[in-house]
Every structure is written in structure tokens, then in C-alpha cells.
A and B are shown apart, each in its own frame.
Chain A
């Protein structure tokens, strides 16, 4: 566990692969929650519950005994909920049978048990087609009964119960009343993606697209930045749009605009659905797969993807707040000293503007070698690359670099401007400042993802910063033994779904993933969608 943490830190500093600290943490938390060994429990389920519709009371007693003896943490209080939780989604009858057993033995199913029961109702509803008639009237009445019972018992419900209730209410006709449950969840924590998704899908299928989209936007604002919404949402929406009830093109544009706003990558299933929609309305829509070359040109319509996205206003905003928030932060001594900041500002005024600003230490350590000679060589090769193109560069480093091999350092000093900070100072903020001061066309050279600096800028500027970063950050891939270096150039065009004139270009991926990748790669698959103006 310790090694993986180190590995993660190493990766995030030097590469653009999104590391998996989130996944690791989720697993660790789950283990703490007391999720019993899954194989053991799976075996138990298979032996006693699989394919059964009902058990005799004697058999239920036996099951309870076995569970309590085999699993240390199972006791009388939690066994009911666990058993209901063990019922598969199609075993609604089995679950009901167990509830009857409880009531016949003189007890009452507790809150958690009812919650799990609602989930089974929900699963049945979805497996029956997710329409208002998917559950029988009796079942729907049961659900509403449970709802009444729980709300009578507790004035404010906790988040788990709320989510289970939402799962249940979706199956009934009174699903709208469940919206207040979302507010109740917010008292203790942000609602989960599941809760939002259920509502959104229901809203779309009930043809209430404005509610659906407003909930969608709320969801995207509250959930963790990198998580992607479920494809179900878009698929349901597209089905409704293609029913011809709504104005097809404007409805489609609504969805595409959201994709752009939140930088979402949809999966191939949604793309197929869009293609089907286009096939149904050939005079309005034209959808074809296309390929975007490295210059940003579409192979189908020959349009170039939108290049300059950072407006002057945005750039100015970014530049002004960088000095205040990132270089100085709350206390200038955190990252540097006033003397040094001053010296640096003067230095930049004197020797700027630059074409590229290089993070000397980041580049030097890219290959993982530790000898000063190899470190200096990496730096020299990068400077050489730019010098060959007659570019004016700034190299940032720390004072200990003066102890590196003399001729390498001399080469760098001859072919570039060099500024060395104190060994105790952080050099990244200087890097960003120099680059932004030199103008909107200056690039930076570093493999650092700069997440902490993005965070310090605040949520509004973070987005702008990320855009700027994507378009201006070079990174060193590797250096071969022969001395040749491979550089990853920044992508000068947008990689989210966007519109040029009347054509949308939509990137997609072949499989749905829960987290978006953090790298700045051009997506492989694009859809070129032409929407004719009526």
C-alpha cells in the first residue's frame, strides 16, 4: 500500500496518466465498511438462495443460523437487511417471502431491510423495461406504503434511506414527490450519481426534458470533477427526441451543448443512437465518423477545429490572478522570499518575452537518472531542440544546479536565459508567471500536471487554466541512447464536443469509463455531425 502511494505520487508528478488514488481509496474504505469476503458470501448465496422463489420457515431459520455462525459480524440486528440484500434483482418473490417470515415470527422489518427491499423493486422495474407499467399495481402500492411508513416514523430521513426511497418511488406514478428527498439527502452529504441519474432518466422518459436537464446540470456541479455520467441518460433522451415529440434538432443541440459545457466523452452506444436519429431525418442531420489530424482538420468536412479558445479577457484574468494567488499565495515566504520574487520579476522584464519556458529540474529528472551528468544532458538536449529553431527560451532551476557539470550549464547559459531560485523555493509558480507574462503564444515545457496550482486559482479560473495548459504544455517523452529526444507537443485545438458553423464535432470512446482520463491526448474517435438550418 505504501509503495503504491509512492508510485502514484511519482506518476502524477512526471506523467500525464491519471493515477488511481481514488480507486485505491474506495477499496480501502469498502474494506473498512465491513464488506465480508465476497467469495465466501457468494458461495453462501449460491447454496441457499439461488433460483429459489420461497423458503419454508424452517429453512429460513437454518439460513439465519448458518449466517450468524459463519460470519462474525452478522448478528440479529443486521441479518434481515443482509438477507434481503443478498436476494438478486429478479428474486422479488423471495424477498417478499422473507418479509412475510419476519412478520409471521412476530417481528417488524427494520428500516434498512425496507430500504433494500425498495432496491429490489427498483431492479425489477428496470428489468421490466422502466416504463410506468413495469411494476404491478400491487407492487407500486407496496412501495408507496413503505414510503408512508418511513416518513411517518422519521421527520428527516438519512441519506441511505432517501436514496433507497428514490429508487423505489421512481417505479411509481408519484415519482415527482421524490424530488424533495434530494434536498433531504443534501443535509448530510451530496446526493449520489445514482439518485440523480434515476430522476434524470425518469424525467426524460416522462418527456420533461427541462427538469431532466436542470437536474443534470445540478448533478455535474456537485459530483466529483472527473466522474462521467451514465450513458443511460443520453440514450433515453435520444429516444424521446426521436419520437418526434420535441423539435429534433433543437433537442439534439441541447444535449450537445451540455457535452461541450462539461467536457464529456460519450460512449459508442450513444453515437450509434445519434446515427440512427440522423438516419431517420436525413434532410436535417448528417452523421459520419471522421478523423482529426494533428493540425486539427476534420477528414470529412475539411473544417479545422476551433483553435483559439482562450479569449483575451480570459487570458488577462488568468495572468493577473496568477501572481497574486499562486506565486505569492497567502504568504510569500511559503514558496519563496520577497527578495527572490522581486529579482525574478526584474529578470523577466529584462530578458523576456520568451517563446518557451522550461522547467529545468522536471526535464532533467524525466528519465529517472540521478547522476548530475545525465541530468544536465537531458536539459541540454531540450535546450538544443529549441535553439535549433531559433527560439528564445527561459530555463528555471534551483541554485544547486550550479554544481552540475560546467560545460553543460555553460551551454544552457549561452543558448537560453537561466534563472535559478533558492533551493528552498518552489519553482513552478515562477514558470507559470514567466510564460503568461510573455504573452498568449508562449509555451511551457514540463511533465508536471500542476494540479495544486490549478486548485489555488479557484474554480472559475481553474477551467481557463486547464485550457491554457492543454494548448501550451510541451512534455518530454523520452530520450534515446543516440541522443534524440521525443517531445509531446501541445494540442492547439479543443478536444471536447463543439460546433463550428453548423457542424458539431463530437469525440467519443469505445467503452464507458467511470472516470475521465486526465491526459491531454486527442481522442481517437470523432463524429462529424452536420445540422442543417431549417
Chain B
């Protein structure tokens, strides 16, 4: 499953846009995710008008009369590795560990949200020692404390529930013994055939096998290990898992490949250098984007959008997979509008109650004059 990607041909590549202050890789920025020309007109790959066909690796054109000092800059690539923690000798590590343990203990004694020392395991300490600042450590402690507190309260609830369990079981047993009739229901007598998980899995896997032969490919670039911190990596792993699951569950899956693990990542900068076609989702055209949270979509959201796009060819339905909280809908705007109005002095009340006479213009998409123009899939994305 983890192949080293040497040539990018005839497939859709999902990769994030790399920015200079590159931090959140797979999760953030993947909305303005650069995908290779959209699902090639919902057709399968053998189509002769395949826009991918012309996509060969193009070397960046170096103009002959380039200035000298530029040459050395341009040939430099930004590997952008996160500076690893400087190697510490065991004694230094031991000393630092002791101080940090004391720090945690003192903070806990002061009443801050820090878990007890014995609940912090070695792998926690590895992470903590590497952390750059005290506030980062305190945030981690707060998170762990909250988890511990939740687990604690769950345990208490479970114990309380367990107290009455014995009697409840007895009562049910008695009732069953006394009841002479047939019991109908899902676990007992029912007209439905039980379909076991294994059957469903076999069926979905068969669809995947079919997809491997006939469907367009999607390649997920997994090489951002050294740019992500622990939390980002955990999120990324979860999303990769979800990608696989949601792809498999769909009627018409993609042929999904994970690649480039431990290799140099593919980014917008590299894509530009190679002259690959890049494109963005037309988010502004179809959605009223809400403020805050940025236009980042997770990997599994992207895969869902692409799957629906393949099926229906319609952006409006496929962009339904964008979580609603990122998009402001009319109800939210209305309530925020009222919030603003209530603090103003001169507001005409009669107009507020008049629903027909729209006080605020209905949500106009940014380029509403273009609404009726057909969205041309084959010209979507950048020129080569």
C-alpha cells in the first residue's frame, strides 16, 4: 500500500498547499486543496479526452538570461523539516525531567488543572520534555486532567448503574420464564435476515476490487510526518482512516493509494515547479462562507466531495459535505442581524416584522451575475 511515488500520471493527487509558515498540513489548507483536474468529467480513466493524459512531468523552464544571484536561490528547495529537539545527554534529560515533574506538582498544588504525577506515563514525559514552552505544557496537562476527570465520572456512573443491575436481570429472567407466547423482535423471532458484519465487509471489499480495475485513482500524499506535531499527526491518521472507510462505503469508490511515506512531500511549490495542473474547489461560488475557521476541509470531507462529484457532476450536491458550521446559512445571518439591530437606537419596528419586505438583502453570492453561467469542468483549474 505504501509505494514510493515517482511518477504522477493519470491520477488525482490530494495535497495541501504549502505556505511559508507551514504548520498544519493535512488538515488545514486542504480545502483550497489542490486536486488534479477534477474527476475528468465523471468518466472513467480510459477516456481518450482524458485531461490527465497530457500531464507529463514538465521541468520548470529556466530562462536563459536569468540573473546570476537568482540561480542559487532557485535551485534551493525548502525541505522545511521541523527542527528536531537537540540531542540531550541522559543526565540532562534526567535533570530536566525532574524539574518538569516538580513544575507539574507545584502547579497541581496551586489548584491548576494538572493530573496527578503517577498518572503521567513515560510516553507523556517524552512529549512533555520536548515541548517548547510552559504554556504548551500547561495546556497538555489541562487536556489530560479533563480526560481523567471525564473517565472518573464515567466510572462513578457505571458503578451506580451496576448496583441495580442484578435485580434488573432477575426481573427479566422471571418475566421470560412466565411468558408462554413467542417473543418477536430483532434478537428473537423476526422476518429480517441477519446480515453479519463480515458479509458487509466482503461486499464492500469486492466493490473496492472492482474500483481498482475501473475507477479513477486518488493518491494521498503521506509524507508530512516531519512537519506535523503529535496532535496534527493524530488527526491526520484519523482522517486517513476515515477516507478509506468512507471511500469503501460509497457506491462507486475511487481506487485509493497512500504513498510517499517517509519521502519528500508534494506541495504547491513543487507542483508549480513540475508544472502540474492545480485547481481549487469553487467554494465561494456555491457557498456563503462563514467567518472564522478558515476554508480548510479535512481529507475525508474532500474525498466525499470528490465521490459525489464523480457521481452527480453537480457542485451544489457534492459541496453538501462541507460541515454546516463553516457555512453561514440564512437563519444564522438573520439572528446575527437581529443581534446588531437590537443595540441600535433608531430602528423602524414595522419593517422588522414585515417578512416580505426584506430589510437585509437576501444572501447574494459573491458573483451572482455568474450564477447562470455553466461551470465548465474541463477548464477548471490552472492552465499548464
Contacts and interface: CB of A to CB of B under 8 A. Distances in A.
Interface of A: 1-7, 29, 32-34, 73-74, 77-78, 80-82, 85, 110-113, 115-116, 154-161, 187-189, 323-324, 328-335, 337-339, 341-342, 345, 370, 424, 452, 456
A338 B139 contact: no
B76 A34 contact: no
A6 B110 contact: no
14 contacts: A34-B142, A82-B110, A156-B99, A156-B102, A158-B106, A160-B103, A160-B106, A160-B110, A188-B96, A188-B103, A329-B78, A338-B60, A338-B63, A424-B268
Contacts of A32: 113, 138-139, 142
A342 B61 CA distance: 12
A80 B111 CA distance: 9
A333 B142 CA distance: 40
Interface in B129-152: 133-135, 138-139, 142, 145
Contacts of B69: 323-324
Pick the most buried of B113, B278, B290, B366: most chain A CB atoms within 10 A of its CB.
B113
Interface string B67-100: 1011001101110100000000000000110111
Contact of A330 (B63, B78, B109, B138): B78
Contact of B112 (A34, A157, A187, A329): A34
Contacts of A345: 67
B269 A333 contact: yes
B291 interface: yes
B19 interface: yes
A528 B382 CA distance: 60
Contacts of B62: 338
Nearest to B275: A337
B153 to A, nearest CB: 10
Nearest to A5: B292
B63 A342 contact: yes
A159 B103 contact: yes
B107 interface: yes
A3 B291 contact: yes
Interface string B177-218: 000000000000000000000000000000000000000000
A85 B110 contact: yes
Contacts of A4: 292
Given A158-B106, A452-B20, A328 B292 contact: no
Given A3-B291, A158-B99, A77 B108 contact: yes
B354 interface: no
A337 B20 CA distance: 14
Given A78-B109, A337-B272, A338-B62, A330 B70 contact: no
Given A32-B139, A33-B142, A160-B107, A341 B134 contact: no
B66 interface: yes
Contacts of B135: 29
A330 B76 contact: yes
B60 A29 contact: no
Contacts of B261: none
Contact of B21 (A155, A188, A341, A452): A452
A110 B140 CA distance: 24
B106 A338 contact: no
Contacts of A3: 291-292
Contacts of B133: 189
A29 B139 contact: yes
Contact of A333 (B66, B107, B134, B273): B273
A324 B61 contact: no
A342 B67 contact: yes
A156 B100 CA distance: 10
Interface string B16-28: 0011110000000
A329 B133 CA distance: 27
A115 B106 contact: yes
Contacts of A187: 96, 99
B20 A74 contact: no
A187 to B, nearest CB: 6
Contacts of B269: 331, 333-334
Contacts of A116: 110
A6 B292 contact: yes
A2 B291 contact: yes
A33 B69 CA distance: 51
Nearest to A343: B63
B321 to A, nearest CB: 20
Given A187-B99, A331-B77, A456-B20, A111 B270 contact: no
Contacts of B291: 2-3, 6-7
Nearest to B109: A112
A323 B112 CA distance: 48
B99 A188 contact: yes
Which 4 residue pairs of A and B lie closest in terms of their CB atoms, listed nearest first? A2-B292, A330-B78, A112-B109, A331-B78
B293 interface: yes
A4 B103 CA distance: 33
Contacts of A342: 63, 65-67, 70
Contacts of B76: 330-331
A51 B135 CA distance: 35
B118 to A, nearest CB: 13
A456 B78 CA distance: 14
Contacts of A189: 133-134
A369 B96 CA distance: 55
A108 to B, nearest CB: 12
A84 to B, nearest CB: 10
B128 to A, nearest CB: 11
Given A3-B291, A6-B292, A156 B110 contact: no
Contact of B98 (A80, A156, A335): A156
B215 to A, nearest CB: 30
A328 B138 contact: no
A80 B133 CA distance: 27
Contacts of B80: 330
B103 A82 contact: no
B125 to A, nearest CB: 14
Pick the most buried of B18, B21, B106, B142: most chain A CB atoms within 10 A of its CB.
B106
A334 B78 contact: yes
A493 B134 CA distance: 40
Contacts of A341: 70
Given A29-B139, A115-B106, A334 B20 contact: yes
Contacts of B96: 187-188
Contacts of B270: 333
Nearest to A77: B109
B113 A33 contact: yes
Nearest to A184: B99
Contact of A332 (B19, B74, B98, B106): B74
Nearest to A1: B292
Interface in B370-384: 382
A111 B108 contact: no
Contacts of A452: 20-21
A74 B366 CA distance: 53
A334 B102 CA distance: 44
B282 to A, nearest CB: 14
A157 to B, nearest CB: 7
A34 B111 contact: yes
Given A2-B292, A337-B272, A157 B20 contact: no
Given A2-B291, A329-B20, 13 more contacts: A3-B291, A34-B113, A77-B109, A78-B111, A81-B110, A110-B109, A160-B103, A188-B99, A188-B103, A332-B70, A337-B60, A338-B66, A339-B63
A399 B69 CA distance: 27
Contact of A74 (B74, B111, B278): B111
Given A34-B142, A452-B20, A338 B111 contact: no
Contacts of B67: 342, 345
Contacts of B60: 337-338
Contacts of A74: 111
A73 B113 contact: yes
Given A6-B292, A77-B108, A330-B76, A338 B70 contact: yes
Interface in B348-380: 366
